[in-house]
Amino acid sequence: MSRIVKEYMGLQKRLQTPEFSWISFLAPVDDDDLSEWVCRFQGPSESPFEGFELGLNITIDLEKYPISGGPRVLFEPRTVAHPNVKWDTGEICLDLLKDAWTPIYTLLDVVGAIRDLLADPGLDSPLDLDIAQIYDADYEAYVQIVRYRLEEARLARV
Amino acid sequence: MRGDKETTNWLNKSLMKQARQKKLSIIAVGVLSTVAVTVGYLLYLYRGQRNPNIRDVKPKSKCYVLTQDLFDKIENWQEELSKDSVMLVLPEVAHLGNHLKLQLSSIEHKIVIFNNSSAVWSAVRHLKKYELVISRDKTSDMPVDLRRYVGQISHI
Amino acid sequence: MANVTTPGNQSILAEFPYLDQTSHTLINSTSLLAQTINVPYQTFRSFVSSIAQRYASVHAHVEQPQVNENFTTSPDFFWMSVTYFLSGYAASCLFVAVILNRLMAMSSLRSTNQQLKLAPWAKVTFHMIALLSLGYALIQIGAQFRFYGEEQPAGSYMSICYGIVCLSHCIETFITTTANLKPLEESDYSLFELSSAFYQLSKSNATVDSYGYTCIICLLGRFIIHFVEIFNIRHYRIIFSTLLNVPFSVYMIYLQFTSNLSGIGSFQVFRVFKNGPKILSTSIVILSYLCYKLSCLVRMGNFGSRFGATSRVEELQFYSFWQNWTTYLNLSGEEDFYSVALKFAVFLCNPKQARTNGIHREFEDVTTPTSLHKSYLISGYLNKVDAVPAQELDFRRDLRSTSVWRLRISWYVTMVKYLIGWFKYFWKGNKGRNILEEPERNFNDFVTENNYVKFLHVKDEKDTDKFLLPEEDYTEDYVPLETEIEDVDDELEEYDEDEYDDNFNDVDDDFYSDTEGPIHGAGQERRINNRQLAMAQELFNPEQIQELIRSPNEMSWYLSTWAILNYENVTNERMLTRRRFARNNELGILREVMSERSPKIHEIHEHHLHDQDSDDEAVDLACVVCKTNTRNIILWPCKCFALCENCRMSLGLRGFNTCICCRREVSGYSKLNIV
């Protein structure tokens, strides 16, 4: 049994624990094909994302996972304004997904790390310079802009 | 003996012919590749011009930079902000921004009040709206590179 | 060279007269053949005379050396070498060689192993003949030295001497070959050397100073051979030979230095060539020995073994050699001094031979690493380490943290202590050495499997200091002031043994019910009840009970102490000792321990299910990567234990260099065998 299958099998139980109550769901798009996953989770508390639900699209290369490479994770495009997220594509700049990936991490770890990143952006490697500048200069404005984007996205979904 | 001479002559000629053919083919390949590269580059440029990324997906999205002047000029903010638009409130008119927020509670998320004026321009850059609405007196404060991030600037 | 007299070269010849050797020719003829001989001869002559002139110019005040000793520049020397082969000496040498060869061939036995014992008369006769003739020659040499008697002319004496030596050779060879032994040889003076030397000496009318010493030592050497043969003490020959050679060499050196030091002539070529190697070898051996003894001296003593370095004499590389050098040199005692000295010196100085014997160690030019450097590997995950890496075993890492000055001061202090110890060692002498050399022994060494039992118990309770295993407490129990309970307690203990039951619960209940009734009086009962109540109130609050139920750790603690308290309560106010409790509650303790252990296993199981580490095995942890196989790989130096063999291989092939758990660099791995 491969690692991803094991993860999948154990996922249901783990998602029900209070530790992961902030994940609305994390499941493959199609149960037969474990290479595409979708996740929706609540934004971290004490951040502009609080109270909003965010969506992730996860792609796993079944040959490489977990040793050679980690999952490819993107936010839904044009929803998240964050210094480490590219607005247009939803690309996330997180060391865990790139060089600091080790096979120890699971999908849950990745999603958790992304959630933590939302609360604490890493300003030394921003993908969106303008937002990073706003974050630096004027935190309240940053919060409002993020919320603006999230609201627009929520309204669009509806 | 004579036969040998003839065959050697013939061999030499055929070798020369082959060499010439080789040369020609190399030249032809070179020319074709240059042409292909040029055409491709032109196409790329053209396509780039066709779809610039400086514009927002939805046309006619607006970004208002609120000043006292602008506030006075426009009467119905509800209507203005109901479409795809956002209002950035400069620090000096923060009170106006708060007022508007209370007034337009349903769309209050579209109003962003700043404490730092340089952050306003960063926000304009980030938001990449199609149209930037700004009053004339603030035009001088605008950074020069803003034109790249918005399609059209309306001075009111 | 002969005809070079051009005007330009005139000045050269004038300045270097030795270049002009035209006057000296070997062959007086102008033919080409003569020239081929003359020219090299003249070249050699010019070379030698240039050297001679240099010496002459340096020591110009010294008179010219005697002609007799100066062979090399006279044409006679060359001629003599040629004419030797036509002389009687050469002929006799050849003749004797033939005789010896035939003797050896004809007298040898069929088998090589068999040792034959000759009839004594034959042996003694032959050897006596040799001894007598040698004795005659020796006596004659005294006469030659003009100590007594009349002197014979040098030539005739030398020929007599030579003849006697040949005779001695023949006799020795004959006897030993017949007896299937190896003939004792005098490697210093072979027949051929003697013959050529004697020939030259006789031809040049040498004085007794030149040939006398050679004759003496040669004759004496042969005398020793026959002497040891007669008395069957062949293996002592080396001793005699040493006794002969050493003073003789010393005398030779003395002579050399006291004689005329200047000029090339005073350097007696023959003498030097004969004795030079002997003296050189001996000096090498003596020097080596002195060096060795010095290092022994430095290493000996009570310097102890601090920092893991043993300063013992045995550590020296040549120690084993010097302890039994006779076996290393294959000394049988029958060799002569010259050969032994040479062999000895060559052995000491020859690295190849020493290396094959494992004595000498030379540093190689290249230090090949015992293990492959980690930079050569794709990844540390592929480098199997069979033993714990040395750095892990290094418990002296704190040394690195000490400052330089502290180390220096400590080093100085250590050196001073060593010096003091050294002086003390010399003060004590041999006695002290032996005592200090003994390793420390402690009492534990005497306790073995068979007699350890004796050490466990003593007959007399007062000898408590004799114990090695003071696990049992033989001290008096603490007795509180109420002494009237004593006899009651004894009764109770007897009663306990009767009531010993398998069922834990029953025991408790029986205790409680049985002991309370017949034994305790009413007053004590009341006291006990109060005590119980007090204890209960102390332990349990209604609020605490809620907590207890929720926290399993505390519950088990309470349960265990409750058993003890309960028991103590039951056995009234006498202080409860471990001995009493254990004696009466053995099973209870056992069960308690078991229950203590099993929740841990249960907890681990819970934890695993919670962490999703493994669904299959309860206790074994699964690899973090595949979550399927059990872990059995430990990484060095971070010692993280998280991988299975397959995942390790995959990681290694992908070129990982850092530990996946802790991100520390991985230099190697070891596979653990989990049983």
Flag whether pLDDT at A58 surpasses 90.
Answer: yes
Mean pLDDT of C115-130: 85
Q: Indicate yes or no: CB of A88 within 8 angstroms of CB of B119.
A: no
Task: Give yes or no for residue C510 having a pLDDT over 50.
Answer: no
In this structure, of C367-381, C456-470, C627-641, the range with the lowest mean pLDDT score is: C456-470
First to last CA, chain B: 101
Q: What is the pLDDT of residue C208?
A: 76
pLDDT at C302 over 60: no
* Confidence category of residue C98, pLDDT binned at 50, 70, 90: very high
Q: Answer with the residue of higher pLDDT: C342 or C457.
A: C342
Between A and B, how many residue pairs show a Cβ–Cβ distance under 8 A? 50
* A29 reaches C (C-beta below 8 A): no
The predicted structure's pLDDT at residue A115 = 93
**Residue C217 CB-density burial (10 A; 0-12 exposed, 13-18 middle, 19+ buried):** buried
pLDDT number for residue C466: 56
Q: So what's the pLDDT on residue C355?
A: 62
Share of chain C above pLDDT 70, in %: 63
Q: How far apart (Å, rounded) are the C-alpha atoms in residues C270 and C217? A: 14
Q: Which chains touch A (3 or more CB pairs under 8 A)?
A: B, C
Residues of chain C with Cβ-Cβ distance to A1 below 8 Å are 628
Sequential DSSP letters for C504-529: HHHHHHHIIIIIHTTTS-HHHHHHHH
pLDDT of residue C222: 92
Distance CA C674, CA B144 (A): 70
Residue B95 has pLDDT above 80, yes or no: yes
Between residues C422 and C506, the one the model is more confident about: C422
Q: Which residue has the higher pLDDT, C673 or C71?
A: C673
Helix/strand/coil for C265: coil
Q: Is the minimum CB–CB distance between C561 and chain A shorter than 8 Å?
A: no
Q: How many helices (H) and strands (E) does chain B have?
A: 5, 5
- Please indicate whether, in this complex, the C-beta atoms of A68 and C661 are within 8 angstroms of each other: no
pLDDT digits 0-9 by tens, C349-362: 876 655 666 555 55
**φ/ψ of residue A33, rounded to 5:** -115, 105
| Of C320 and A126, the one with more pLDDT | A126
Which chains would you list as touching C if contact means 3+ CB atom pairs under 8 Å?
Answer: A
- Contact (Cβ atoms closer than 8 angstroms) between residue C106 and residue C212: no
Q: How many CB pairs under 8 A join A and C?
A: 37
pTM over 0.80: no
pLDDT of residue C65: 46
What's the confidence (pLDDT) of residue C59?
Answer: 60
Please list every residue in chain A whose beta carbon sits closer than 8 Å to the beta carbon of residue C661: 102, 104
A93 is known as an active-site residue: yes
Domain assignments of chain C as residue spans, ordered by start: 77-232, 287-365, 526-598, 633-671
**Beta strands at B62-66 and A72-75: parallel, antiparallel or unpaired:** unpaired
Mean per-residue pLDDT of chain C: 74
Task: Return the half-sphere exposure (C-beta side, CA atoms, 13 A cut-off) of residue B65.
Answer: 30
Overall average pLDDT of the C17-40 stretch = 72
What pLDDT, on the 0 to 100 scale, is given for residue B128? 85
Q: Which of these, A61, A68, A66, A70, lies nearest to A92 by C-alpha position?
A: A70
Percent of chain C with pLDDT over 90: 11
pLDDT mean across residues, chain B: 82
- Cβ atoms within 10 A of the Cβ of C364, count? 7
Number of domains in chain A: 1
Write down the pLDDT at residue C82.
Answer: 77
Q: Which residues contact A119 (CB under 8 A, 6 or more apart)?
A: A44, A45, A46, A47, A49
Q: C377 to chain A nearest CA, in Å?
A: 18
pLDDT at C507: 43
Residue pLDDT, tens place only, A64-122 = 888 888 899 999 988 899 999 999 899 999 998 888 888 889 999 999 999 999 999 98
Confidence tier at B139 by pLDDT (50, 70, 90): confident
The predicted structure's pLDDT at residue A117:
92
Range of the domain at A69: 3-157
Quick check: C3 pLDDT over 60? Answer: no
The per-residue pLDDT for C495 is 44
Closest CB to B118 among A137, A148, A151: A137
Give yes or no for a contact between A115 and A44, defined as CB atoms under 8 angstroms apart: yes
Mean of the pLDDT values across residues B17-27?
91
Task: Report d(CA C55, CA C68) in Å as an integer.
Answer: 18
**Mean pLDDT value of segment C26-55:** 77
User: For chain B, what are the domain ranges?
Assistant: 2-51, 56-155
Whether domain B56-155 has CATH 3.30.360.10: no
